[in-house]
């Protein structure tokens, strides 16, 4: 979801002295995209992609976690070179960046308590409290409903906390990417939660490159497109989802 800003933390070592490719990720990013709370993320799509790019371009890839509200300024200044797991409508100055080809499709969906009637559309959320992520931008109709007070937005510090609040019925629903929510449900099978049948929004996920990218944007585009078309990006996402129950991340362990 949408960091109106967001992303970057860690180092994929490569045996060369080239300028590193600095890759950002935000505090709310989670598996299967990236392992949160690590100086050097090892699991998820981003480290797998970073390892592949490091080999292809013979340069180190450095991951740095960055506050959401610093993302765009850091990207413009060259303090980071790219962010992924994003899309142009989430960035306030999207025209300033080079956008990769779409890498995979995602969708925003809701989790709700099993004891509650299905939330099937926007109207079914009216008068309810929706767990959200700070700084994230959602679909235009949903943002309008937040603005006019039809739906109460409650920003929560991380997805683990949101799901436990929902399990205790302190929230009426939680919105996030389907893969993120599926990963967490695999980690927490004891929670009395289920997916709503409503798909709030579908969109394509890209990488955004800043103006100080140390390699030609077209070369990076070509490699990402090859990995997508060979099915490797989807494969790495699926592998991270399957490993959720066997390899709980630190946030999940802390929340238990």
In angstroms, the Cα distances linking 95 to 6, 101, 208, 225, 241 are: 17, 15, 10, 21, 33
Contact yes or no for 86/96 (Cβ under 8 A): no
d(CA 230, CA 56): 16
Q: What is the pTM of this model?
A: 0.86
Q: What per-residue confidence (pLDDT) applies to 156?
A: 94
CA distance 130 to 126: 10
Q: CA 3, CA 28: separation in Å to the nearest integer?
A: 9
Evaluate whether 228 touches 103 at the Cβ level (below 8 Å): yes
H helices of the chain, in order, are 45-57, 71-77, 140-147, 159-167, 178-187, 217-229, 232-242, 250-255
Query: What's the rounded Cα separation, in Å, for the pair 75 and 1?
Result: 18
Asked if 66 and 74 count as a contact pair (C-beta separation under 8 A), the reply is yes
Q: Are 155 and 133 in contact (CB under 8 A)?
A: yes
Distance CA 46, CA 56 (A): 15
Cis, bond preceding 32 (omega within 30 deg of 0): yes
Question: In percent, how much of the chain has pLDDT > 90?
Answer: 77
What distance in Å separates the CA atoms of residue 97 and residue 14, rounded to the nearest whole number?
26
Q: Give tens-digit pLDDT for 76-113.
A: 999 999 999 999 999 999 999 999 999 999 999 999 99
Q: Which residues of the chain have pLDDT under 70?
A: 1-17, 245-256
The pLDDT assigned to 3 comes to 47
Q: Which domains does the chain have, with CATH numbers?
A: 9-104+204-255 (3.40.190.10), 106-202 (3.40.190.10)
β-sheet bridge partners, residue 195: 111
Q: Which two tokens stand for residue 255?
A: 């929340």
223: three-class secondary structure by DSSP: helix
CB 56 within 8 A of CB 49: no
Rounded Cα distance, 235 and 225, in Å: 14
Distance of CA 131 to the CA centre of its chain: 16
User: What token pair was written down for 100?
Assistant: 């990769």
């Amino acid at each position: 979801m949408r960091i109106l800003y967001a992303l970057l933390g860690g180092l994929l070592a490569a045996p060369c002295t080239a300028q590193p490719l600095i890759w950002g990720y935000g505090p709310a990013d989670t598996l299967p995209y990236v392992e949160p709370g690590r100086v050097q993320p090892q699991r998820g799509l981003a480290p797998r992609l970073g390892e592949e790019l490091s080999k292809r371009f013979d340069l180190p890839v450095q991951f740095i976690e960055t506050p959401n509200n610093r993302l765009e300024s850091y990207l413009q200044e060259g303090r980071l070179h790219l962010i992924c797991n994003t899309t142009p409508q989430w960035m306030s100055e999207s025209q300033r960046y080079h956008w990769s080809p779409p890498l995979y499709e995602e969708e925003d969906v809701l989790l709700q308590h099993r004891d509650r009637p299905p939330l099937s559309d926007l109207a079914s959320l009216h008068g309810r409290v929706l767990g959200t992520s700070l700084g994230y931008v959602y679909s235009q109709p949903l943002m309008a409903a937040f603005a006019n007070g039809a739906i109460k937005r409650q920003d929560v510090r991380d997805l683990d906390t949101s799901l436990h609040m929902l399990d205790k019925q302190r929230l009426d629903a939680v919105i996030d990417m389907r893969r993120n929510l599926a990963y967490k449900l695999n980690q927490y099978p004891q929670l009395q939660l289920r997916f709503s049948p409503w798909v709030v929004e579908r969109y394509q996920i890209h990488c955004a490159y800043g103006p100080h990218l140390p390699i030609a944007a077209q070369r990076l585009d070509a490699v990402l497109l090859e990995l997508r078309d060979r099915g490797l990006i989807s494969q790495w996402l699926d592998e991270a989802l399957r490993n959720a129950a066997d390899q709980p991340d630190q946030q999940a362990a802390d929340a238990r």
